[in-house]
Amino acid sequence: MSEQRFDAVVIGAGPGGYPAAIRLGQLKVKTAVIEREYMGGVCLNVGCIPSKAVIHAAKMFDKMSHADDIGIGIAGKPTLDMKKMQTWKGGVVNKLTSGVRTLLKGNGVTILEGTAKLEKPGPDGHRIVVQTKDGPQTVVAKNIVIATGSRPIEIPGFKIDQQRIIDSTGALALDEVPKRMVVIGGGYIGLELGMVYAKFGTKVTVVEALPRLLGTMDKDCVAVVDRKLKKMGVEVMVNAKAKSWEDKGDRAVLTVEIDGKTATIDTDKILLSVGRRPNTENLGLDTVGVALDKRGYVLADEHLRTNVGGIYAIGDVIGGMMLAHKATKEGEVVAEVIAGHKAAFDVRTIPAVVFTDPEIASTGLTEEEAKEKGHAKLRVGKFPFAALGRALSVNETDGFVKVIADAGTGELLGVHIVGNGASDLISEAALAIEMGAVADDLRLTIHPHPTLSEAVMEAAAVALGEAIHVINR
């Protein structure tokens, strides 16, 4: 069995692993990255990137269907070629994944393709056996970074077969538009993809076990998306649990329990989107003694160190907000730590985005969370996109920007945005919170006109009772 030696080995080349490996290479640490399936991970291949490509296509299709609202006539109805769209989406993915390979190689990182398993360490360091297409290889490393990501959760009786029961990967690969789809789970992935297919013409039903959709997001923002779902004809069932299903040949029949009563739904596809679980099995973590919590997540400190010297973990496998940009930051931090620099994962806020229509973006605390943390009196300002010149001029007036600040100190505590461009607007707010800004800082910063970003400035002005373009109350 061949043997290679490195100062650091990263297991997993997703949005946490490949940045960690690149940064290690930049810091002149001899590094290898091991990837069993997707260079770039789930995010680049079957998650973040392809989903946003399909969401963009659905939004364009929907806009073309309503172009006459602004005086643009289209002869006949727009048509949809799913196979051609899948080819275009694949091209986007290929460009990015090939770019990851180029960056890794350009920074001196060795790429090993195969499945990794830790073995008991020897006197010369940690040992990993990599099962490659050419047979097993042994890798010896001073440091190991676990960056193996996560996968969709299955619920009893709903085994994902990518035929009737599909996950997000299957939903992004459909080359025909189903007539009916039930989405089990009203979280961000389920709603993003459910709205895509609703725009393509699918009759979509969302089944959510909790009392409301997107339970971690600002409830006022979610209410705007709720209204849009109704307008699109999407049926939403909350406090509802999927119990079982039957394949009837020409359809699937789903049984749902709502408030103790059962109902059935006929459908063609069932999209299972009830969360994700960490990929920590079969890695040999038990062999080397890496500690996990009750849910299978690796325990790591602010330096991303596990309880075993020389073994670190980042990204979805350590839990928290399971977001690509969080994993990327952790990857950069862990590289700095391994290289001997003073570094830690120490952030005030991590922004989150739901790419529904309209988009929701959030950073910092909600009103409820702020009060729970002892901020008894708040200043809350909401500025509607319906009062914003830029939003009106692009015919995208749903939503608002909400700014939450401490009434006494003015400290900016949270910003929540629902509407067109929310994903691009939230970074200003994240920077402001990270820097310890007060609401006045947003209000006094001149924003260009006419832009969507003015809504952030205007919302801060509303919170302070100094708004110009809406009535102060």
Res 168: pLDDT: 96
**What span, in angstroms and rounded, lies between the C-alpha atoms of 7 and 9?**
7
Reported as a pLDDT band with limits 50, 70 and 90, residue 76 is confident
Q: Residue 343 above 80 pLDDT?
A: yes
Residues 126-164 pLDDT 10s: 999 999 999 999 999 999 999 999 999 999 999 999 999
Res 260: pLDDT: 87
Average pLDDT over residues 447-453: 98
Average pLDDT over residues 443-449: 98
What Cα–Cα distance (Å) separates residue 83 from each residue in 62, 88, 295, 446?
18, 9, 39, 46
Query: Sign (positive/negative) of CA torsion 131, 280, 98, 192?
Result: positive
CA gyration radius, the chain: 24
Using DSSP's 3-state secondary structure scheme, residue 396 falls into: coil
Average pLDDT over residues 36-59: 95
Residues 297-328 pLDDT 10s: 999 999 999 999 999 999 999 999 999 999 99
Please provide residue 282's backbone torsions phi and psi, each rounded to the nearest 5 degrees: 60, 20
Contacts for 14 with CB less than 8 Å, ≥ 6 apart: 38, 40, 41, 42, 43, 44, 147, 149, 315, 324, 327
**What span, in angstroms and rounded, lies between the C-alpha atoms of 402 and 379?**
10
Beta bridge partners, 382, equal 402
Average pLDDT over residues 180-204: 98
Q: What's the predicted TM-score (pTM) here?
A: 0.96
Query: Catalytic one among 56, 341, 449, 469?
Result: 449
Look over the chain and give the mean of its residue pLDDT values, rounded to a whole number.
96
Find where tokens 């939004």 sit: 59
Burial class (CB in 10 A: 0-12, 13-18, 19+), 335: buried
Reported as a pLDDT band with limits 50, 70 and 90, residue 3 is confident
Res 213: pLDDT: 98
Kindly state the DSSP code that residue 109 receives in the 8-state scheme: P
Report strand pairing: 269-272 vs 165-166.
parallel
What Cα–Cα distance (Å) separates residue 241 from each residue in 20, 184, 254, 258, 263?
40, 8, 10, 7, 10
Res 72: pLDDT: 94
Res 1: pLDDT: 61
Burial class (CB in 10 A: 0-12, 13-18, 19+), 92: middle
Task: Examine the residue annotation and report whether 66 is marked as an active-site residue of this protein.
Answer: no
Q: Residue 77 above 90 pLDDT?
A: no
Residues 272-300 pLDDT 10s: 999 999 999 999 999 999 999 999 999 99
**Domains detected in the chain:** 2-151+277-338 (3.50.50.60), 165-274 (3.50.50.60), 352-463 (3.30.390.30)
